[in-house]
Structure 1
Amino acid sequence: MTKQEEKVLSYITEQEVQEFLQALIRARSDNPPGDTRAAAKVCMDKFQEYGIEAELLTAPDSEVSVLYPDTDNSKVQSVIAAISGEEGPVLLMNAHIDTVRAGNLEEWKYDPFAAVIEDGYIYGRGAGDDKGAVAAQVLAACAIKKAGVRLKGTLKINPVADEEANAVRGTRWLRRAGYLDPDILIIGEQTDNRIALGERLPVQLKVTIKGRACHGAMPWNGNNATLRMVEFIQKVQEELIPEAEKIKKKYFPPVTITPTRIDGGIQTNIVPEKCTLSIDCRLVPEMPLRYVIRRMEEILQALSDRGPAFEWTIGNDTDLQGDGIYTDPDSPLIQTMLQAVRDVTGEDTEPTGYMQGSDAEQFADLGIPIAIFGPSDPSVGHSPNERVSIKQAVEATKILAVTILRLIGEPDT
C-alpha cells in the first residue's frame, strides 16, 4: 500500500459503513412501485456532507408512461455524483437503490426495514441486493474526496433506481438521455466480494407466426399457426439448443435458450390465425444475439418454404443489444481489482462470472471493461432474512477505494 492509499483507507470506518448502510435499508424502496426518494436522499445527504457534487434525476413521464401509465414516476429517483480531475477516462460506479418487496413478513426474524444487527450482520430487505454495494461505492468515493486525491479522469457514482424493473426508469433512461458515458464500469451487485468479469446477456425474444384462420371442423381450409409454432419449437430443440449446450465458457454458467410461453388462438372451434412464443435467452459472446436471431430466421424460413407458407416476425422484448458482458481476466480493470482484494483482505482470489442479471446488460453495446462487484452472498438476495456482513461491507468499500486510486488516481508526489 502507498501512503496515499493508506490515507484514503484511514477515512473508511466500520461505524460509518454500518450507520450509512442501516440508513439505506430503513429508507424503504420496494419495486414495485419503485419509490426511491428516501434512499436517494440518504445518498444525496452523504455526498453533500463530503462536498461532492450530485444531482437527483427522474425520467420524464413522456419517456416511460406507456409502460407505467398509472405510476407517479416523479418518485422514481436516481442520483449521479461526480469527482472531476484532469482530462482522462470516466470511471462509473453504478449500484441500484431499489429493492424487491419483502414478501411474507412472518418468514422474517426481524422487521425487514429495521436494519437490525446480529452477530456482525445487518438484516433487512436490500441489505445485500443492493444497498451493501451502494454503501461501498458511495463511501469509497467519499474517502477519495476527503483525502484530497487528484484524479487523472472523472469518477462518477450512480445510486440508481428501477434495476428490479428492467431499468426502464433508471439506467436505461439515463444512458439514453446522455448522463452515463463511462470508459470503465463497476456494477455493484452481490458477489461475496469476488470480482465478476461478466454475465450472460438476458434477452427475451418473441416469435410470432401468422397463418390463416378457418372453422375448426375443416382445418384443411386454414393454416394452423399453433401447429407451425410447434414445428418451430421442435426445430429449435433439435438444432439450436444443442449448439448452445456445446458452448463452455470459463467462469460462466451454461448458455440457455428456453421457450417459456406460448399463446395461440381465440376460440376452441377456430383454427388459430396467430401464435406467439416467448423465449428466454442467456447468451455469451461466443453465441451472440445476432447469431441466435439469424438461426431462428433460417428455421422459420425453411418451415415456411416447405409449406404451407406463413408470415413470421421475431421481436426483442428487452431491447438489449450486444454480445453479452465479458471482460478479459488479464485486463487492467480485472487485474487491478483482484490485486486490491489481495491487498485489503490478504486473500488470493480468482475471477468469477455473475449468475444473475444486473444493470451491466444496459452497457453491453459499448464494449468497455466491466466488472461486477459487491458484498454479500448472492444466494440471500430476494429472500427472507436477507443480510450482509458488516466486515465484508467495509472490505468492499476499501477494495473499491484502492481500485479507484490505481485506475484513475494521480500517483503520490
Structure 2
Amino acid sequence: MDDNAAQASRIAAAVDAARDRVVSTLTDLIAFQTISRPDPAPPGPGTEPCQRYLRARLAALGFETELWEPDPAPLLEKYRGRPGTVEARRFEGRPNLGGRKPGQGGGRSLLLTGHIDVVPTGPIEHWRSEPFSPVVQDGAIYGRGAVDMKGGVAAMLMACEILHELDVPLRGDIVFSTVCDEEICSMGALAHADRGYTADAGIMTEPTANRIAPICFGILWGRIILDGIGGHAELTPRNWDAGGPVDAIDLCRQMLNGIDLINRRWMFDPRKRHPLMEGPVNILATQIRAGEHPSSTAGRAEIVIDVKYLPAERDALGRGSLVAAEVDAFISQICQADPYLRAHPARVEWFLDADCTEVPSDHPFVSCFQGAVSASGLSPQLTGFSSHSDIGIPTDIGGTPTVNFGPGDPSQAHQPNEHVMIADLVSCTRALALAIADWCR
C-alpha cells in the first residue's frame, strides 16, 4: 500500500471511529434556533450563538476566524443588479463566520461553505418531536435543519477536526464559511465573497444525497396580479362590459391553465433541459391570495410563482431577466385569449432573482472530488441540484469554482420531521476529509 492509500485508509478509519461525535455535532447545531424570515428583524435567537459555537470549534483547530454583520448598503452599491443584491435586508444579530487555516505553502486551497439559517417550522402539530430539540432514532437525526443544511455544516466541521487530529500535512489553505440569510436571499454569501473568502475550489454542503452536483437551477419569484371587479356573489351577474362583476378567482383558473400549457411546452424544449437535471425548468404556483368577503366575488387576486432557469439562460449580469421577459410574454398571450383580460391584462411584479451556475464536469477539482467520493464507497456519478443554492456567488463573483455535495435526501428540506440518516452524515464527512487531504496536499 503506497503512502497516499495508507493515509486515505487512516482518515476513513478515523471518521468511522468519530461517528458519535459527528452525531453530537449535528444535534448541537440543530438546537440553535436560526430561523430566517422575509422580515429579518428580529433574528432567530440562536443565530449568533450558533456562529460563536462554530467559531470556537474552528479556533481550536488553528483557524484564523472572524464574525461580522454584513453591511448591505455598500454591497448594494458595489454589486447592484448582480446576484445576491436585495433591498431592505438587515443583519443585526445575524453575523457571518469566516475562517482560514493556513497550509504549509505551495498547495491548492479549498473552500468549505454552507448556511446556518433554516426555514420556519410550519404547524408544530405536524412534527412528531420538537423541531429544535433534536432526536436520534432508528439511525437518523430529526430536527429542523438536519438536512437543510446543518448536516452538511456538521460534516464540514468534523472533516476539518479529524484531519487536524491526525496531523495530516496540507500545503494548501482550508477556508471555512458559514453564512446567514440563504433561505431568503444570497446577500450573506455575497458578503463572504466580497470579503475575500475565496479559494482554488469549493464545496457547498447542500443536501445532494452525497452526489456531486456541479450545477444548480436559478430561481425567479414573481407575483401575477389579476384585477377583477367585485360584486355580490349570490346574484345573477351582468356581463363585465355592462357594469357586472368579474371574479378574480375565475381569472386565476384561466391563468393557472395557461401556466400548465407553458410547462408542457418547456417539457419538450431542449433549451429548457440539462443532462444532469432530472427534469426541465418549470413554473410553479406556490401561493394564491384572493377575495375580500364570503359573499362577494373576488375583486383582485395574486398568484405567486416560482420559476426555474438554467445557467445557459442567464443574462450578461448572471441573472434571469431574459427568462422573466419570456414569462411576461407568455402571460400576455394568455390574456389575449380572454376579452376581459385583453382589456385588463395581468401584470407580473418580480421580487427575487436567485442566480445559478455550472462548473464544467471536466474541471480538475471535479475529477479530484470524484476520486475522494469513490474512495468513500459512494457513487462518483455527477448530478444536478434541482433547486437554487448559493454556488453561483463563490463561483462567478468570488472566482471559486464551487460544487454542491452534502448528506441527506433533498426532498426532506423544509418538511416537518426533517431528518438525515447517520450513515449518510458519516459518509459525507469521510468524503470531505479525503477530498481536502487530496486537493490541498
TM tier, shorter chain? 0.7 to 0.9
Question: Secondary structure of the residue that 2:307 maps to in structure 1?
Answer: strand
After TM superposition, the structure 1 = structure 2 runs for residues 170-185 of structure 1, keeping only pairs within 5 Å, are 170-175=188-193, 177-185=194-202
- Partners of 1:81 and 1:249 lie apart in 2 by 35
- 2:25 paired residue among 10, 17, 20: 20
Identify the residue that residue 246 of structure 1 maps to in structure 2: 268
1:151 aligns with 2:168: no
Question: Secondary structure of the residue that 1:342 maps to in structure 2?
Answer: helix
Question: Secondary structure of the residue that 2:370 maps to in structure 1?
Answer: helix
Contact 2:357 2:396 in 1 (8 A): no
How many residue pairs get aligned? The number is 395
**1:43 Cα deviation after fit:** 0.7
| 1:232-270, Cα deviation, whole Å (9 max, x unpaired) | 9999988x766633343222143124677899xxxxxxx
**1:18 Cα deviation after fit:** 1.6
Counterpart of 1:359, as a letter, is D
- Partners of 1:161 and 1:330 lie apart in 2 by 31
Identify the residue that residue 430 of structure 2 maps to in structure 1: 398
1:353 aligns with 2:384: yes
- Partners of 2:142 and 2:328 lie apart in 1 by 48
Counterpart of 1:256, as a letter, is N
TM-score by length of 2: 0.71
Contact 1:34 1:162 in 2 (8 A): no
Question: Secondary structure of the residue that 1:95 maps to in structure 2?
Answer: strand
Counterpart of 2:424, as a letter, is Q
**1:40 Cα deviation after fit:** 0.9
**1:190 Cα deviation after fit:** 1.4
Instruction: Sort the Cα spacing of 1:243 and 1:19 in 2 relative to 1 into closer, same or farther, 3 A.
Output: same
When structure 1 is superposed on structure 2, of 290-299 and 95-104 the one drifting more is 290-299
Contact 2:22 2:154 in 1 (8 A): yes
- Partners of 1:286 and 1:46 lie apart in 2 by 40
Identify the residue that residue 81 of structure 2 maps to in structure 1: none
- Partners of 1:65 and 1:204 lie apart in 2 by 13
- 1:283 paired residue among 300, 309, 332: 309
After TM superposition, the structure 1 = structure 2 runs for residues 99-110 of structure 1, keeping only pairs within 5 Å, are 99-110=118-129
- 1:137 paired residue among 156, 160, 181: 156
Instruction: Sort the Cα spacing of 1:334 and 1:68 in 2 relative to 1 into closer, same or farther, 3 A.
Output: closer
**1:178 Cα deviation after fit:** 2.7
C-alpha RMSD of matched pairs (Å): 4.5
**1:148 Cα deviation after fit:** 4.2
1:256 aligns with 2:288: no
After TM superposition, the structure 1 = structure 2 runs for residues 80-99 of structure 1, keeping only pairs within 5 Å, are 80-85=98-103, 86-87=105-106, 89-99=108-118
Identify the residue that residue 31 of structure 1 maps to in structure 2: 36
Contact 1:325 1:370 in 2 (8 A): no
Instruction: Sort the Cα spacing of 1:393 and 1:300 in 2 relative to 1 into closer, same or farther, 3 A.
Output: closer
Question: Secondary structure of the residue that 2:372 maps to in structure 1?
Answer: helix
Question: Secondary structure of the residue that 2:191 maps to in structure 1?
Answer: helix
Instruction: Sort the Cα spacing of 1:349 and 1:65 in 2 relative to 1 into closer, same or farther, 3 A.
Output: closer
Question: Secondary structure of the residue that 2:396 maps to in structure 1?
Answer: coil
1:55 aligns with 2:92: no
Structure 2 unaligned blocks of 5 or more: 38-42, 77-84, 227-239, 242-247, 249-253, 290-298, 315-319, 335-341
- Partners of 1:233 and 1:387 lie apart in 2 by 33
| 1:137-161, Cα deviation, whole Å (9 max, x unpaired) | 1121223333242223x32111221
Question: Secondary structure of the residue that 1:351 maps to in structure 2?
Answer: coil
Instruction: Sort the Cα spacing of 1:206 and 1:104 in 2 relative to 1 into closer, same or farther, 3 A.
Output: closer
Counterpart of 2:8, as a letter, is E
Question: Secondary structure of the residue that 1:399 maps to in structure 2?
Answer: helix
Counterpart of 1:74, as a letter, is E
TM-score by length of 1: 0.75
- Partners of 1:107 and 1:237 lie apart in 2 by 30
- 2:57 paired residue among 46, 55, 63: 46
1:4 aligns with 2:7: yes
Contact 1:52 1:145 in 2 (8 A): no
- Partners of 1:68 and 1:189 lie apart in 2 by 23
- 2:407 paired residue among 357, 362, 375: 375
- Partners of 1:360 and 1:261 lie apart in 2 by 27
- Partners of 1:28 and 1:301 lie apart in 2 by 43
Percent of matched pairs sharing the same residue: 25
Contact 1:28 1:38 in 2 (8 A): no
- Partners of 2:424 and 2:11 lie apart in 1 by 18
Question: Secondary structure of the residue that 1:334 maps to in structure 2?
Answer: helix
Identify the residue that residue 215 of structure 1 maps to in structure 2: none
Instruction: Sort the Cα spacing of 1:202 and 1:84 in 2 relative to 1 into closer, same or farther, 3 A.
Output: same
Identify the residue that residue 82 of structure 2 maps to in structure 1: none
- 1:198 paired residue among 201, 208, 215: 215
